[in-house]
């Protein structure tokens, strides 16, 4: 951990265009109750940072370009809010399974921030009834978990959502959660030369000691895995999110949703040195540790067969593993939501595929938060300004109107059709920008993953 990291991290950044702050706060409501009645403020985008639920900061992505782009839509723009939340051992130790606190503290941190926005954003000229939450990777997975929070039984402090590559390692097994607590206690005992038996004992350690324990556990994680993350706790996460949306136990009040995935989503999370079927199966067990032999065999023979001819869209064992991980932990999540919301907000579901090479996980971040000119790079690759501005136009228009097409007349961006019964997905690429395809995740493999038979 760096010197600036601390558990005392629960702060917000609120960035407001001068025009909104100056013009709207003159007549702002004097109280939260009054703001609920007036609902005349500016739209709000709340950003939840990613980082595998083990790292990340609210200030990693600078929204200057995104906010400037929003100003060109209606002259006023939008408010941008970014939050911190506890990660790793601090935010996702499943203490609830041991009866020594709550699990998913990091998700509860996010919820607290969203409730703060509902209560106080009017002081900055914002409208609490026009809040969009957005996140990428673990941030997108967090957005998914906020959508399914409490199984849909409570009010939701947002009205719209943007999910970019929403992901998490599925963990619904109580036994695995107990093993994780024991693993944390064992590592902490060895590193501090103390006999630690309970979660309460962990709370007695200093932040520096806990930070070391967290670093060791995360560092020892299997390739592409970070150990800590959301778990089924019977409360905030009453069941696996895919099952919850299939059962209608989520925020069905959502007015609009936009989702995006990357063409080569799973490559980063799997070893490039896998050489045979046995190693592939070992990799499956790493990502889905509660899978029995029958389930692993089904995944390896029926879902993703050991055929490297290209028939199944992979020609090597690493690419076979990449597709497995991508669909099981990231891609299919977007299909679950699209299916569940169809018929509820069928005209307000939008999905894109980011395909600018190399189009690996998180590549669309450099485009969503593009702040420069055509020479700006992201992860060593130049950012295509046309694609970046197009994506930013879609995001800002969606936040401000519930549709990515509200700024088309101004910026001449390609029409972004609703997902609909055709499962239409818009492509963001340097060539064929705006081309449409049928959702690659509208397949039987995603249907199988949603049943959560691997837990």
Q: Which residues are catalytic?
A: 137, 265
> Quick check: helix, strand or coil at residue 433?
coil
Asked whether the CA dihedral 297, 305, 137, 214 is positive or negative, the reply is: positive
Residue 58, number of CB atoms within 10 A of its CB: 18
Ramachandran assignment for 112, one of left (phi > 0), alpha (psi -120 to 50 degrees), beta (any other): alpha
Query: Which residues have a Cβ under 8 Å from the Cβ of 56 and sit 6 or more positions away?
Result: 49, 50, 87, 138, 139
End-to-end distance of the chain based on CA atoms, in angstroms? 32
Q: Using alpha carbons, select from 413, 425, 424 the residue that is nearest to residue 387.
A: 413
E strands present in 70-209: 79-83, 126-136, 160-164
Q: Using alpha carbons, select from 335, 304, 329, 334 the residue that is nearest to residue 319.
A: 304
The residues pairing with 261 across neighbouring beta strands, listed in sequence order, are 353
27/45 Cα distance (integer angstroms):
22
């Amino acid at each position: 951990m760096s010197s600036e990291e601390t558990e005392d991290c629960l702060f917000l950044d609120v960035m407001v265009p001068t025009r909104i702050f100056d013009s709207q706060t003159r007549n702002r409501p004097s109280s939260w109750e009054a703001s609920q009645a007036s609902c005349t403020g500016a739209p709000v985008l709340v950003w939840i940072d990613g980082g595998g639920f083990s790292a990340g900061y609210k200030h990693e992505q600078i929204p200057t370009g995104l906010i400037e782009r929003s100003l060109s839509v209606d002259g006023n723009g939008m408010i941008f809010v970014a939050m911190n939340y506890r990660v790793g051992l601090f935010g996702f130790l499943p203490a609830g399974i041991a009866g020594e606190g709550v699990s998913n503290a990091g998700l509860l941190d996010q919820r607290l921030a969203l409730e703060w926005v509902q209560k106080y954003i009017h002081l900055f000229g914002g409208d609490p009834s026009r809040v969009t939450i957005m996140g990428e990777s673990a941030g997108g997975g967090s957005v998914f978990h906020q959508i399914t929070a409490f199984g849909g039984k409570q009010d939701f402090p947002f009205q719209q959502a943007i999910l970019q590559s929403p992901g998490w390692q599925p963990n619904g097994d109580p036994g695995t959660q107990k093993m994780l607590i024991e693993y944390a206690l064992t590592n902490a005992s060895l590193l501090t030369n103390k006999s630690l038996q309970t979660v309460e004992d962990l709370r007695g350690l200093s932040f520096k000691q806990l930070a070391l324990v967290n670093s060791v556990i995360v560092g020892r994680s299997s390739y592409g895995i970070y150990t800590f993350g959301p778990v089924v706790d019977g409360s905030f996460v009453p069941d696996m999110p895919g099952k919850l949306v299939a059962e209608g136990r989520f925020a069905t009040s959502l007015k609009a949703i936009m989702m995006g995935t990357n063409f080569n989503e799973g490559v980063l999370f799997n070893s490039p040195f896998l050489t045979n079927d046995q190693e592939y199966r070992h990799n499956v067990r790493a990502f889905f540790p509660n899978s029995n032999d029958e389930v692993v065999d089904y995944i390896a023979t029926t879902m993703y067969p050991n055929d490297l001819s290209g028939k199944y869209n992979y020609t090597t064992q690493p690419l076979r593993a990449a597709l497995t991980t991508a669909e099981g932990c990231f891609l299919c999540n977007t299909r679950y939501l699209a299916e569940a919301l169809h018929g509820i907000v069928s005209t307000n579901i939008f999905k894109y595929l980011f395909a600018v090479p190399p189009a690996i996980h998180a590549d669309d971040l450099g485009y969503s938060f593009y702040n420069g000119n055509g020479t700006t790079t992201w992860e060593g690759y130049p950012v295509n300004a046309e694609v970046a501005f197009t994506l930013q136009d879609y995001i800002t228009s969606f936040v401000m109107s519930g549709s990515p097409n509200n700024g088309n007349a101004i910026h001449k961006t390609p029409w972004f059709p609703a997902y609909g019964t055709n499962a239409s997905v818009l492509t963001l690429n340097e060539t064929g920008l705006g081309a449409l395809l049928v959702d690659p995740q509208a397949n039987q493999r995603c249907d199988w993953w949603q049943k959560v038979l691997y837990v």
